[in-house]
Amino acid sequence: MNKTAVVTGGAGFIGAHLCQRLLGSGYKVICMDNLITGSKDNLRDLIKNKKFIFINHNVSQYIKLAGKIDYVLHCASLASPEDYLRFPIQTLKAGSLGTHNSLGLAKEKKAAFMLFSTSEIYGDPLVHPQKENYWGNVNPVGVRGCYDESKRFAEALTMAYHRVHKIDTKIARIFNTYGPKMRSNDGRAIPNFINQALHGRPLTVYGKGEQTRSFCYIDDLVEGLYRLMLSPINEPVNLGNPREFTILQLARLVLQLTGSRSKIVFKALPQDDPRQRRPDISKARKALKWQPRVSLTEGLKKTIPWFKP
């Protein structure tokens, strides 16, 4: 293997796992991150590898790299509500300028390009489960619009580069993913619940906890991403676990697996919080021969030790 992949946002949760997978498959990996939410701690085991290079760079600024590059994998984004509500402008820049600069690098190097998009482009969906041909129900001026619209623009820009410049592009629509290397202050349900349970604090459930999510373990997601990267598919592909749980079910499962005696408390729903989220992965099953294999219980058992004090 004498191929090079650039991973923007490679010091983040998903990016670091992908860097590890690529190195394990023989690629040279150039990891680019400005560490606004990523961490070098996620790369501790990778930096010793001679095929791994870390560059501290904000992809919202022009990207210049020497040498041959085969893949540009644009993972850089502020994906947690806690982050994009605190940094809405940086989130929009990562999705717009960051995508433009990453696509420009792929065009210059004649490299394949993969955008890490999100299930949030579907907004609060009126169709369930969500297929790739659903256009979504997004509030563009709501507090979550900075993330949702940044990804919708990024998808449009990616397809424009594919049609005009004939770049081999891929779009992964990633549904809720969890696992080791997540930040303890990530702000999403699984790290929140695990941390609260391990520290004996009440688990915070919004609304009545009836809103649903589907949770994909990181190893399953990375396998899907890798297969999509090597595939000839240029249209968006959903990657996630189609098994659906209510948030209240998730909270109770975390309490059971941690052995915590914490209580569950209920708070008001955040603005524009989606009521349902479950991917239709028929396309990934057929085209990539991929589907998740790790159950939520098994995945949580692998994840909980990461958060233990």
In a domain, 262, yes or no: no
In a domain, 251, yes or no: no
In a domain, 121, yes or no: yes
Global confidence as pTM: 0.95
CATH number of the structural domain spanning residue 34:
3.40.50.720
pLDDT (average), residues 14-18: 98
In a domain, 52, yes or no: yes
Q: What is the pLDDT of residues 285-303, one digit of tens each?
A: 999 999 999 999 999 999 9
pLDDT (average), residues 228-241: 98
Query: DSSP strand E in the chain: where?
Result: 4-8, 28-33, 52-56, 71-74, 112-118, 169-174, 177-178, 203-206, 212-214, 216-217, 236-239, 244-246, 264-267
In a domain, 189, yes or no: no
Domain ranges, residue 30 = 4-179+217-242+279-293
pLDDT value of residue 294 = 98
Percentage of residues of the chain with pLDDT beyond 90: 93
Question: Is residue 84 flagged as an active site residue?
Answer: no
Q: How many domains does the chain have?
A: 1
* Helices marked H in 3-144: 13-24, 81-86, 88-95, 97-109
User: Which residue of the set 71, 147, 161, 178 is catalytic?
Assistant: 147
In a domain, 53, yes or no: yes
CA separation for the pair 196, 244 (Å, rounded): 23
pLDDT (average), residues 70-87: 94
Q: Which residue has the tokens 């619009």?
A: 145
In a domain, 146, yes or no: yes
In a domain, 166, yes or no: yes
